[in-house]
Amino acid sequence: MPHIDQPGGVLLAERLAAEAFPSGREARSDQYKAGVKAFLLYVFASHPIRHEYKPGDPRRDAFYAGIGEGKHIAQREQRASRESGLS
């Protein structure tokens, strides 16, 4: 997935991450949420993905599960952007 590094990329990533976890949604761990946000920042603001978890740590698994959701969110946003002619 290409990096966009567009003006406002950090704000877009933060907005999308916040919108992913509205009140009433099933609770997710902080590590999962961090994975979602990390991937969105990677795509939209070219931030490197970093974490402190060792292999086998369940928090690492949660972080990478969050990255999976972040990929879906980024793809949906990019598709919407293309369809609206903004990219």
Q: Give the start-to-end residue ranges of the domains of the chain.
A: 9-84
Q: pTM for the full model?
A: 0.87
Distance separating alpha carbons of residues 41 and 24, to the nearest angstrom:
24
Q: Examine the pLDDT at 2 and tell me if it is beyond 60.
A: no
Convert the pLDDT of each residue in 29-70 to its tens digit.
999 999 999 999 999 999 999 999 999 999 999 999 999 999
Query: What residue type is 5 in one-letter code?
Result: D
CA angle 77, 46, 20 (to 5 degrees): 35
Collapsing DSSP to helix, strand or coil, 21 comes out as: coil
For residues 41 and 5, the answer to whether their CB atoms sit within 8 Å is: no
Residues with Cβ within 8 Å of residue 25, at least 6 apart in sequence: none
| Residue 86 pLDDT | 55
Polymer length of the chain: 87
pLDDT band at 4 (very low <50, low <70, confident <90, very high): low
| Residue 84 pLDDT | 84
